[in-house]
């Protein structure tokens, strides 16, 4: 019930519209309920041979019909407006909330679960709030008013012919609860078939290369079978619902005929009154059925609402500090380097993971320093750099930037100062220029091109069909891994607040800390050479952390941090480490020579034998 009341809260901005649609519904109900009585009245005029009276009744019925038409159109327009408004509000609330939630939340929730909340659940709620609720009220009123009108005339007959009414409501309700979901399940299953087909086609290279056609086909046909079953179930429910709902009123009609007919014969009621009853019964079928269906839908909307609130009620774990703790990063000053980092005894545990990804990590990095982070796959390299922009918070210890605990900074301001480029940079479906300017929407074309030149991207961009206006990304031109990385580096260069350059005359942009996570891991050696040249320039004047899989990248760094199973194994210059760290020598020899992803355990002697 709590959920239902909260859902009603979404109607608050539309109180007026909702009231209008309610009043329109009420008037329509009034008109509807009067009609059968008028028809009965007309029939008695026939009996009396009263032509003038008959004409009046006919005109009245036509006018009422017209009035009802207008009222219904009006109500549907207004209710549609409310429904769409509620949908829009809900979508924006949900989307906005998803944007502020932390990475830990997204680790735990599957994309599919979130998508189904954003689609199926959302539409269940908005349909019920927009249309369903008015319908429930309208149907209920129709039934009650008609029952009153009928009872006034013939209590006994009314009781007799309304006997099957609860049954109709009940069947409708069952349909609302089960029929609709069955249809949605069926739709979902069909969507899964589409997804399976799509995956087979996009993954066709792998499928063919591993001769897995048969397995794929088996998987696909099981998806098809599943969809078939779900659809069949929906058809079954549908197949019995309509006929049953049509059958029940027949019972009422039979009762009216039997009981009412006798009353006419014995002159207790007129033929007109008898007809009015007959029409009432016919007229009540639809509202009774709607009432049931809508109550069922209401029940589902409440369940959907509860699922929406599960997401909406989730508090973001990473938030701005309270105002009294809020600090800002020290600003630029001539001659002062920015971007000092200190990991102070940091332990990080991902949600629902037993072993910490990082354990008691302490590393100090001076402003402007270039540090390479090396370690085997899973040693915590990515985990470490994700702490800087607070994608995750450590469970113990502190992360300081220029002496300020990152938790005392406004997260937005903090993130403007750190750019992370990972090994698989995401490009949005937009032009190259827009993708580069993603972190700085106000950037001029000149700034964009300059950033591209510094990232060594300008050359290939100019060769694209539309140069900087070429649309790339999911639905655009596909770029190679190396090209995407260079765009990502250009993007990073534009991130961050505008600040005066060292000479004080020109302004530059760019975050004070740049992180390259495997950023050159999937490009060929010559491209890497180019990027490396670009990197040298990019690294100037800012602190850079490079998670390196190649010796050439490591050699760009002043110092190297070696991670092992979430702990710092050693820190030093390349030369020092080669000298004293066996682990480092191993990583350099086996893990880097040709950037293989060998783990320490898997680095076996049979490689040499082979
Ligand atoms: N989002 C996550 N949720 C849970 N565990 C994670 C997550 N990301 C990484 N891990 C785990 O944390 C450890 C460190 O991972 P990571 O920092 O990505 O290693 P790498 O050194 O290869 O970058 C690994 O054991 C990994 O399985
Ligand atoms: Mg990693």
Q: What tens digit of pLDDT does each residue of 325-368 get?
A: 898 888 776 667 789 999 999 999 998 888 999 999 999 999 98
Q: Is residue 568 part of a domain?
A: yes
> What number is the average pLDDT over the span 205-229?
87
CA of 425 to the centre of ligand 2 (A): 13
Rounded Cα–Cα distance for residues 558 and 373 (Å): 11
Ligand 1 atom closest to 379 (CA): 21
Residue 440 resides in a domain: no
Q: Are residues 308 and 348 in the same domain?
A: no
Tell me the C-alpha to C-alpha distance, in Å, between residue 478 and each of 12, 29, 308, 343, 382. 46, 59, 36, 38, 26
Instruction: Report yes or no: 347 and 394 within 8 Å, Cβ to Cβ.
Output: yes
Spatial CA neighbour of 387 closest among 354, 345, 355, 423: 345
Number of domains within the chain: 2
Ramachandran category for residue 211: left, alpha or beta (phi over 0 → left; psi -120 to 50 → alpha): left
CA atoms within 13 A on the CB side of 51: 0
Note the pLDDT of residue 13: 93
- Best CA proximity match to 133, nearest among 36, 281, 18: 18
Which residue spans within 507-586 are E strands per DSSP? 507-508, 513-517, 543-547, 559-564, 567-572
* CATH at residue 368: 3.40.50.300
Q: What is the pLDDT of residue 596?
A: 40
Q: Is 508 helix (H, G, I), strand (E, B) or coil?
A: strand
Map residue 543 onto helix, strand or coil.
Answer: strand
pLDDT value of position 565:
94
405 shares a domain with 549: yes
If one residue of 350, 376, 379, 394 were mutated to test the ligand 1 pocket, choosing by the most ligand atoms within 8 A of its CB, it would be 350
Other C-beta atoms within 10 Å of 355: how many?
A: 9
CA-CA-CA-CA torsion sign (245, 251, 257, 260):
negative
DSSP code for 409: B
Let me know whether 300 and 377 are in one domain: no
The residue from 293, 312, 331 where one domain ends is: 312
If asked whether residues 6 and 98 sit together in one domain, one would say yes
121 belongs to a structural domain:
yes
The answer to whether position 323 is within a domain reads no
- Residue 526 within a domain: yes
Any idea what DSSP says for residue 388? T
Same domain, 249 and 382: no
Ligand 1 mean position, distance from CA 350 (Å): 8
Interval between CA 353 and ligand 1 midpoint (Å):
10
Q: Please check whether residue 377 is in contact with residue 323, taking contact to mean a CB–CB distance below 8 angstroms.
A: no
Q: CATH number, domain at 45?
A: 1.20.1560.10
Residue at which a domain ends, from 265, 295, 312: 312
The Å distance, Cα 549 to ligand 2 centre, comes to 10
In terms of domains, do 115 and 252 share one? yes
Q: What is the mean pLDDT of residues 388-408?
A: 94
Ligand 1 center from residue 337 Cα (angstroms)? 31
Q: Which residues are 561's β-sheet partners?
A: 373, 571
Q: Which two tokens stand for residue 93?
A: 């609330």
Query: What is the token pair recorded at 146?
Result: 């008609």
For residue 448, name the pLDDT band (cuts at 50, 70, 90).
very high
Same domain assignment for residues 122 and 13: yes
Measured distance CA(196)–CA(577) in Å, rounded: 49
Q: In 3D, which of 449, 417, 419, 415 has the Cα closest to residue 431?
A: 449
CA–CA distance, 609 with 50 (Å, rounded to integer):
112
**Of 272, 293, 312, which one is at a domain's C-terminal end?**
312
Bridging pattern class, strands 559-564 and 370-375? parallel
Mutate to test the pocket of ligand 1, among 107, 353, 548 (most ligand atoms within 8 A of CB): 353
**Does residue 255 sit in the same domain as residue 389?**
no
Contacts of 296 (CB under 8 A, 6+ apart): 172, 173, 174, 175, 176, 177, 178, 180
Distance between CA atoms of 607 and 99, rounded to whole angstroms?
46
409 with 365, same domain? Answer: yes
What's the number of CA atoms in the CB half-sphere (13 Å) around residue 390? 26
Instruction: Determine the pLDDT at residue 520.
Output: 58
Place of tokens 């409440």: 302
213 part of a folded domain: no
Q: How far apart are the first and last CA of the chain?
A: 68
For tokens 């189904």, name the residue: 116
pLDDT band at 602 (very low <50, low <70, confident <90, very high): very low
**Average pLDDT of the residues of the chain:** 85
Mean pLDDT of 197-225: 84
Instruction: Give the global pTM.
Output: 0.72
pLDDT at 443 (0 to 100): 86
For 132-187, how does the pLDDT look when each residue is reduced to its tens digit (9 = 90+)? Answer: 888 888 888 889 988 898 898 888 888 888 888 888 888 888 888 887 778 778 87
Centre of ligand 1 to C-alpha 395, Å, is 15
Q: Are residues 290 and 411 in the same domain?
A: no
- Residue 564 inside a domain? The answer is yes
Whether 274 and 366 map to the same domain: the answer is: no
The encoded tokens of residue 579 equal 């000298």
d(CA 289, CA 50): 37
CA 125 – CA 75 distance, rounded (Å): 19
Q: Quick one: tokens of 301?
A: 């909307």
20 phi, psi to nearest 5 deg: -60, -45
pLDDT in the model for residue 597? 40
Residue 420, phi then psi, degrees to nearest 5: -110, 125
pLDDT given at position 89:
92
Q: Where do runs of H (alpha helix) occur along 405-524?
A: 411-416, 432-436, 445-454, 458-463, 481-494
Ligand at minimal distance from the CA of 359 is: 1
Q: Is the pLDDT of residue 607 over 50?
A: no
Residue range 52-65: average pLDDT?
Answer: 93
Q: Which residues, listed in sequence order, are joined to residue 391 by a DSSP beta bridge?
A: none
Q: Which two tokens stand for residue 546?
A: 């490079």
Place 296 in a pLDDT band, splitting at 50, 70 and 90: confident
**For the CA of 518, the nearest atom of ligand 1:** 23
**Closest Cα to atom 19, ligand 1: which residue?**
378
Per residue in 471-483, pLDDT tens?
A: 997 767 788 877 8
Residue carrying the six token digits 């001029």: 444
For residue 404, is it within any domain?
yes
Q: Kind of pairing, strands 507-508 and 513-517?
A: unpaired
Check residue 492 and give its pLDDT.
Answer: 86
> Does an H or E element contain 255, and which?
helix 213-255
d(Cα 387, Cα 376) in Å, to the nearest integer? 19
Give me the percent of the chain exceeding a pLDDT of 90: 33
Query: Scanning the structure block, which residue is given the tokens 């009353």?
Result: 263
Indicate which ligand has the atom closest to the C-alpha of 563: 1
Q: What pLDDT, on a 0 to 100 scale, did the predictor assign at position 246?
A: 76
Phi, psi of 61 (to 5 degrees): -65, -45
Instruction: Round to whole Å and give the CA distance between 515 and 517.
Output: 6
Which residues, judged by CB distance below 6 Å to any ligand atom, belong to the binding site of ligand 1? Answer: 107, 350, 353, 357, 375, 377-383
Q: Which residues contact 13 (CB under 8 A, 6 or more apart)?
A: 85, 89
Q: Give me the domain span that covers residue 356.
A: 341-424+511-609
Residue 110: its pLDDT value, please? 75
pLDDT at residue number 203: 78
Burial of 244 (0-12, 13-18, 19+ CB in 10 A): middle
Residues 289 and 411 in one domain: no
Contact by Cβ (8 Å): 154, 263: yes
> Mean pLDDT: which of 28-32, 250-254, 313-317, 388-392 is highest?
388-392
Q: Which ligand is nearest to the CA of 385?
A: 1
C-alpha distance from residue 436 to each of 483, 486, 488 (Å): 12, 10, 7
Is there a contact between 418 and 511 (Cβ–Cβ < 8 Å)? yes
């Amino acid at each position: 019930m709590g959920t239902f009341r909260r859902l009603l809260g979404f109607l608050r901005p539309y109180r007026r519209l909702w009231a209008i649609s309610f009043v329109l519904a009420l008037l329509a109900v009034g008109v509807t309920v009067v009609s059968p009585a008028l028809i009965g009245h007309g029939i008695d005029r026939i009996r009396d041979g009263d032509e003038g009276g008959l004409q009046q009744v006919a005109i009245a019925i036509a006018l009422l019909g017209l009035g009802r038409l207008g009222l219904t159109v009006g109500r549907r327009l207004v209710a549609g407006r409310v429904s769409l408004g509620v949908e829009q509000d809900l979508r924006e609330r949900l989307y906005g909330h998803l944007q502020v939630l932390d990475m830990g939340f997204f680790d735990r929730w599957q994309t599919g679960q979130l998508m189904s909340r954003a689609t199926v659940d959302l539409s269940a709620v908005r349909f019920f709030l927009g249309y369903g609720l008015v319908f429930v009220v309208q149907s209920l009123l129709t039934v009650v008013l008609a029952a009153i009108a009928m009872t006034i005339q013939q209590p006994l007959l009314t009781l007799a012919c309304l006997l099957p009414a609860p049954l109709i409501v009940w069947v409708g309700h069952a349909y609302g609860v089960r029929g609709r979901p069955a249809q949605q399940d069926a739709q979902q299953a069909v969507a899964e078939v589409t997804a399976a087909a799509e995956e087979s086609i996009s993954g066709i290279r792998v499928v063919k290369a591993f001769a897995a056609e048969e397995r794929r086909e088996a998987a696909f046909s099981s998806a098809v079978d599943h969809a078939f079953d779900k659809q069949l179930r929906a058809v079954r429910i549908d197949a019995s619902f309509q006929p049953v709902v049509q059958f029940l009123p027949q019972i009422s009609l039979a009762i009216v005929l039997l009981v009412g007919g006798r009353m006419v014969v014995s002159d207790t009621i007129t033929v007109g009154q008898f007809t009015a009853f007959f029409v009432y019964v016919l007229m009540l079928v639809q509202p009774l059925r709607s009432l049931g269906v809508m109550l069922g839908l209401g029940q589902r909307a409440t369940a959907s609402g509860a699922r929406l609130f599960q997401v909406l009620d989730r508090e973001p774990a990473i938030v701005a500090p309270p105002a009294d703790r809020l600090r800002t990063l020290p600003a630029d000053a001539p001659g002062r380097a920015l971007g000092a980092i200190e990991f102070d005894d940091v332990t990080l545990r991902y949600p629902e993971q037993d072993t910490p990804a990082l354990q008691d990590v302490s590393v100090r990095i001076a402003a402007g320093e270039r540090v390479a982070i090396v370690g085997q796959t899973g040693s915590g390299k990515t985990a470490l750099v994700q702490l800087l922009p607070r994608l995750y918070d450590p469970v113990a210890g502190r992360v300081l930037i220029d002496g300020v605990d990152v938790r005392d900074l406004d997260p937005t301001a903090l993130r403007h100062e750190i750019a992370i480029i990972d090994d698989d940079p995401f490009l949005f479906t937009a032009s190259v220029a827009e993708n580069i300017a993603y972190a700085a929407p106000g950037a001029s074309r000149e700034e964009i091109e300059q950033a591209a030149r510094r990232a060594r991207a300008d050359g290939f961009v100019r060769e694209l069909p539309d140069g900087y206006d070429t649309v790339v990304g999911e639905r655009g031109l596909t770029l190679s891994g190396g090209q995407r990385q260079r765009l990502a580096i250009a993007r990073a260069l534009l991130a961050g607040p505008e600040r005066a350059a060292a000479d004080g005359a020109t302004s530059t942009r760019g975050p004070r800390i740049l992180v390259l996570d495997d950023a050159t891991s999937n490009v060929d050696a010559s491209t890497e050479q180019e990027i490396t040249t670009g990197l040298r320039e990019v690294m100037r004047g800012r602190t850079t952390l490079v998670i390196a899989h190649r010796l050439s990248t490591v050699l760009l760094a002043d110092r190297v941090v070696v991670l092992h199973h979430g702990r710092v194994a050693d820190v030093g210059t390349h030369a020092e480490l080669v000298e004293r760290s066996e682990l480092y020598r191993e990583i350099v020899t086996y893990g880097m020579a040709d950037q293989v992803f060998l783990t320490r355990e898997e680095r076996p002697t049979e490689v040499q034998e082979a």
